[in-house]
Chains A and B, each alone.
Chain A
């Protein structure tokens, strides 16, 4: 078959890219090879627009065992234990088929983690949907949440937290980012480098079908009205098979038969085999006739590009095939030796006796194009919009708590099994979820964060803020933040203004991660999140993990006792630009994003964590969306203990109570302890203020305004169920 310009474009490649392919091969490509190049050079697999910028991120630290470049990052959590985690997007498939798209997103990220030898112990996610009134939103929310639950619940891995937000910029392009956290022994970590020649390449898991062909290419293109037609490229998940695969892989990993192992994710057999050969500095030969096939008459092209789920590729030590096969047969999974490693540095596939692809391995990796996409530096949004200063504070609070972005997510997380494995110490609904390291007194805290409206106003400060908020959430739970995974969701990088969002976002993330000793150990980019030319809000989601050394010394947000003194740590300037208050009460999405002072973040956070670690404070909450009064309300509603507080500073009550200044925490402690804490903070020149006391079943503000916890809770807990109760089954999807 001749390679025509149409064929090249259908494969998402440019004419220049094809010219480069010809040069690398020294001849024209055949159709199979064109398919292989198209997926390996797709944005999704090659990071061609972001690679040069991602290189600037800090990826090292004393506890980093494995940074970016493997299936997931690995950190040392002491006592010979390692924590392996990563976040990845499944945005495009989830918009087309929400249940299966989200489910296979969960399955994919779990495989990334257990392929490295870890047992997954917790799932997190970061979800963004269109505006609530959009006709598709309920259907998408319902499908995505069921899909995440359907897969995770069956796997028996608790889904312990995440984010759900709504904004019209996601109407045609939702975001589904799933994160998996796993545990392994430090000396039992498995990598993907297929070193050595003549070693058997084995295929395990499900059979290969025609599903998901060109998924990676789809994820690297914009959507338009015809996207519905792409439904056949969404894969179908089978969590039962994944559960078998997990147990079988962990059983095989307990032996020493494995040289390298990698899951078949995006671009399936092609990317797993090419990447393993590339990392091992070897070559690979595949005999496609040996691939377990679900359908008849599959072509080489289909087998190489299929994204059928629940499959793994491993390179074994020679002679260990029978031992491995026995394990996979016990778990009733397919097992086939489908090739071997070579020293030729070539990726070769044979089918029906013919060589159907013969490509230098480096052509698919190092030689893949890298673009310095042009960008235009934009001045960040400035100023602060005007607002009505007379509006009663409590009335606004009641209103805010019942808005789509602020209301309780209970409706969501009650559909996730968040307590299976019996180590969930802090379930969803807190600053950070906390999961104990099984059989120890250690625990991992985890969170996902980003504030896209800040990122739109100021991509750089927004990038910093996402990292700072993740760090704060972990700190408020008493954890020492250790590392992050990033999931960078942006629009089309070929538009200079979008490329600027990406470049500045990565710079901001890098700056914050350096200042907070919070290295990036892995991540994923999802670009081209646009529909009909409209980009999403820039959404660089940050997944952070921290360690609590003694789980009996941690903090949660709920007030614990009547009569505790409520203390505010950090400076309140009353920054209302880009605040939830302005957006929801005044209908304004303008102004400057709040600046992030990383030195202050560090000092204030270290102070609060120190109190928690010493067992002096058990009540702490990070201040974020909605500001101080929303945080107080959350602390009060949690365990049903109210508070009486005053306006400690500023002339303007609205700025004081709803400003979104960063680097702030609320803590509560009994009187004597509180007095000491305040004195210590002052001595350390940390801004501190006593706001009032806990007690009763109402919130009282400045002895004037009051609102019952019941009224707050009705709106806060009521919004989501009421919203979803109007879900209809659409006539056509």
Chain B
């Protein structure tokens, strides 16, 4: 599986994503600068966590208008896999690749801690190596991770099996405890928790590895 990590000026989980990809896939991902208009030939594009252009506006709002997003949209339309983590999820909703929005945490504070998630669906390139209903621990680290969408959209997400991860103890007020969702074509995943921070037993656990292993199996 070949992958690319998008680098906005204030991305700050780009190295973490690249380290995890290199470790698990054995291949160094391409690092793609936000002003690039083309992507290299890859199976997976990762939009990493961070603050894109500072996010003094709505998180991800400016990144959604960036040069590289056009190429990412084209990649997604062709069926290529896109994984947006944390700020990457915010960018994907702002860019219209995923429905809904991520609002300020209900507690109004930034929150960084491990959270227990249940894997809701395993019918996807991102979760096939997990078991349905499995509990996994990923850390969250965000100030704006409160997922919102209107009732119809939420019903549709649930009805179509597109809610991939749910919080067991909701840290941010997200609607229906939603932590991660898929697009209708099931090739774009956005989630607030950080799977790339749980790939090493020395630094907090290995529950995130199966997500990347799922992608290898699905995309190689």
Contact = CB atoms under 8 A, between A and B. Distances in A.
Interface string B178-220: 0000000000000000101101101110000000000000000
Contacts of A717: none
B180 to A, nearest CB: 18
Given A419-B204, A422-B197, A436-B203, A154 B112 contact: no
B173 to A, nearest CB: 15
A424 interface: yes
A30 B9 CA distance: 43
Contacts of A422: 15-16, 19-20, 196-197, 199-200, 203
A532 B194 CA distance: 49
Interface stretch (B37-45, B49-57, B92-100, B123-131): B49-57
Contacts of B9: 240, 243-244, 247, 331-332
A417 to B, nearest CB: 4
A156 B86 CA distance: 13
B176 to A, nearest CB: 23
A551 B202 contact: yes
A421 B109 contact: no
Contacts of B111: 414-415
Interface string A398-433: 000000000000000111111111111100000000
B27 interface: no
Contacts of B51: 154, 239-240, 243
B203 A244 contact: no
Q: Which 9 residue pairs of A and B lie closest in terms of their CB atoms, listed nearest first?
A: A156-B12, A240-B54, A417-B141, A422-B16, A243-B10, A154-B51, A417-B112, A415-B110, A149-B110
A417 B109 CA distance: 12
B7 to A, nearest CB: 10
Size category, A interface: 20 to 34
Interface in B44-89: 49-51, 53-56
Contacts of A551: 202
B139 interface: yes
A420 B56 contact: no
20 contacts: A149-B110, A153-B110, A154-B10, A156-B11, A239-B54, A240-B51, A241-B54, A243-B10, A243-B12, A414-B109, A414-B112, A415-B109, A416-B110, A419-B203, A420-B49, A421-B16, A422-B200, A424-B204, A425-B202, A552-B202
Contacts of A420: 12-13, 16, 49, 141, 197
B132 interface: no
A418 B9 CA distance: 21
Contact of B203 (A146, A154, A423): A423
Given A243-B9, A414-B111, A419 B141 contact: yes
A260 B9 CA distance: 25
Contacts of A421: 15-16
Contacts of A467: none
Contact of B139 (A150, A419, A423): A419
A149 B143 CA distance: 10
A213 B143 CA distance: 32
Given A244-B10, A331-B9, A414-B112, 19 more contacts: A154-B10, A154-B54, A154-B55, A156-B10, A239-B54, A240-B53, A243-B10, A243-B51, A332-B9, A417-B110, A417-B112, A418-B112, A419-B112, A419-B139, A419-B204, A420-B13, A421-B15, A422-B197, A436-B202
B113 interface: yes
Size category, B interface: 20 to 34
A155 interface: yes
Nearest to A247: B9
Contacts of A240: 9-10, 51, 53-56
B2 to A, nearest CB: 22
Which of A150, A153, A244 is the most central at the interface, judged by chain B CB atoms within 10 Å of its CB?
Answer: A153
Given A419-B139, A420-B12, A420-B16, A156 B50 contact: yes
B10 A419 contact: no
Contacts of A156: 10-13, 50
Interface string A225-247: 00000000000001111011001
Interface string A331-357: 110000000000000000000000000
Interface of A: 146, 149-150, 153-156, 238-241, 243-244, 247, 331-332, 413-425, 436, 551-552
Nearest to B194: A419
A473 to B, nearest CB: 20
A635 to B, nearest CB: 20
Nearest to A439: B19
Contacts of B200: 422
A356 B50 CA distance: 44
A239 B50 CA distance: 12
A150 B196 CA distance: 22
A236 to B, nearest CB: 12
Contacts of B141: 153, 417, 419-420
A427 to B, nearest CB: 8
A99 to B, nearest CB: 13
B28 to A, nearest CB: 13
Contacts of A244: 9-10
Contacts of A417: 110, 112, 141
A658 B53 CA distance: 51
A244 B20 CA distance: 24
Nearest to A238: B54
Interface string B105-145: 00001111100000000000000000000000001010100
Contacts of A149: 110
Contacts of A413: 112
Given A414-B111, A419-B197, A424 B10 contact: no
A424 B204 CA distance: 8
A630 to B, nearest CB: 24
Which of A238, A240, A241, A424 is the most central at the interface, judged by chain B CB atoms within 10 Å of its CB?
Answer: A240
Given A149-B110, A419-B112, A424 B12 contact: no
Nearest to A243: B10
Nearest to B111: A414
A332 B53 CA distance: 11
A730 to B, nearest CB: 16
Nearest to A551: B202
A423 B196 CA distance: 12
Contacts of A415: 109-112
B163 to A, nearest CB: 25
